A = this chain, B = another copy of it.
Amino acid sequence: MTPSRREVIAGIGASAALAMTGVPVRAQFPGGGRVRVIDIHGHYTTAPDALREFRQKQLAAVADPSQAPARAMLNFSDDQIRASVQQQLDFQRERGTDITLFSPTAGAMGHHLGNAATSLEWSQVCNDLIHRVCTLYPNNFIGVGQLPQSPGVSPANCAAELERIVNQLGFVGVNVNPDPSGAHWRDPPITDRYWYPLYEKLVELDVPAMLHVSASANPNFQGTGGHYIAGDTTVFMQLLMSDLFKDFPALRVIIPHGGGAIPFHWGRYRGLAQDMKRPPLTELLKNVYFDTCVYHRQGIELLLKTVPIDNIMFASEVVGAVRGIDPESGYHYDDTKRYIDAMTFLSETDRQKIFADNARRVYRLKV
């Protein structure tokens, strides 16, 4: 029996999962049952190779239906799934992260490829795999989904899969791609009423959305260093100019990668809001959050000293955009916990907010 979403996020899901899978219950966490560090931004970039093969066949089938892959090729054994997330588990243990909000590889969502049917199948497949990981390791991973978006297709189209992942799979959030066209930016801005059916469903289900672009099909935009950061930035500017949160006061969105350029240019955005007779940024921060995927100490310091602490959630984007070890520090660039640990100006309360309390509030987590 699949536990309901409320059971999962209440942590009761852990014992339900135990009954199903035999993995330890959440009470075994060091520190007495509550997690201390929640990473809100991890991707399943280490999924078994067959997933990539499935996708290649699936895309080939758009032109030639005889290429269509069977879902059976994704019937991984538990051991295969376990092996595929071992690196994630190692990083959690080494770095001191307790649990990760875990979603399909963002760059592989590829909403610009194929059509709406392709995106639906691909979303189901990827979300189901996330669910398998979360079911095997309920103490380490909580599911976040991807949606069957497609350029030019109404986001209303995503409602059924969103309901499924939240109500049936117990996912606590979703990645929404603000540019399904793949760095061509051909769909309306995310503040356009075009997107409202999706927001209505997000509010109804009470889950937040990370506004996370996918791969770039435009040679001007490299993915992880170009399109991602440019996308984060322009999406925030869209929000700044709109009354979206007047229409959806309960909607919560996360701008990943430390908010793109926004914290660095905080004065610019404060000033632009003022020049445009918009409310101050603090008003926007009732609904907008940033993660800490910023890969050097100076950047993290600026983020924490500029954006209100209540709006910052710990994240590393592991295993993700940058995989190397910084020769200057001897540690991985994306070991963001280390940078935050070094911020001695943070109070214990603020540190706890960044590492867990804000995520509990925004994602309605009970862990």
Contacts and interface: CB of A to CB of B under 8 A. Distances in A.
A185 B218 contact: yes
Contact of A323 (B183, B229, B275): B275
B264 A219 contact: no
A264 B234 contact: no
Given A261-B261, A261-B264, A219 B295 contact: no
A331 to B, nearest CB: 11
A264 B299 contact: yes
Among A192, A296, A305, find the residue whose CB has the most chain B CB atoms closer than 10 A: A296
A363 to B, nearest CB: 25
A245 interface: no
Interface in A232-248: 233-234, 237-238, 240-241
B222 A268 contact: no
Contacts of A261: 229-230, 233, 260-261, 264
Interface string A198-228: 0000000000000000000011111011110
B220 A294 contact: no
Interface string A265-298: 1111111101100000000000000000011111
Contact of A271 (B226, B263, B275, B326): B326
Number of copies: 2
A137 interface: no
Question: How large, as a class, is the contact surface on chain A?
Answer: 35 or more
A308 interface: no
Contacts of A314: none
A183 to B, nearest CB: 7
Contacts of A326: 267, 270-271
B265 A294 contact: yes
A274 B185 contact: no
A321 interface: yes
A230 B305 CA distance: 23
A179 interface: yes
A264 B271 contact: no
A87 interface: no
A265 B299 CA distance: 6
B324 A295 contact: no
Contact of A264 (B221, B230, B270, B294): B294
Query: 8 shortest A-B CB distances, which residue pairs?
Result: A267-B296, A267-B295, A261-B261, A271-B322, A264-B264, A230-B230, A271-B333, A226-B237
17 contacts: A185-B221, A222-B237, A224-B268, A225-B268, A225-B272, A226-B233, A233-B233, A257-B265, A264-B294, A265-B294, A265-B295, A267-B326, A268-B296, A268-B321, A270-B333, A298-B302, A302-B302
Interface of A: 179, 183-185, 187-189, 192, 218-222, 224-227, 229-231, 233-234, 237-238, 240-241, 257-258, 260-261, 263-272, 274-275, 294-299, 301-302, 305-306, 321-324, 326, 333-334
Given A258-B264, A268-B321, A270-B295, 11 more contacts: A185-B185, A221-B234, A229-B233, A229-B265, A233-B233, A258-B265, A265-B294, A268-B333, A271-B334, A275-B324, A296-B306
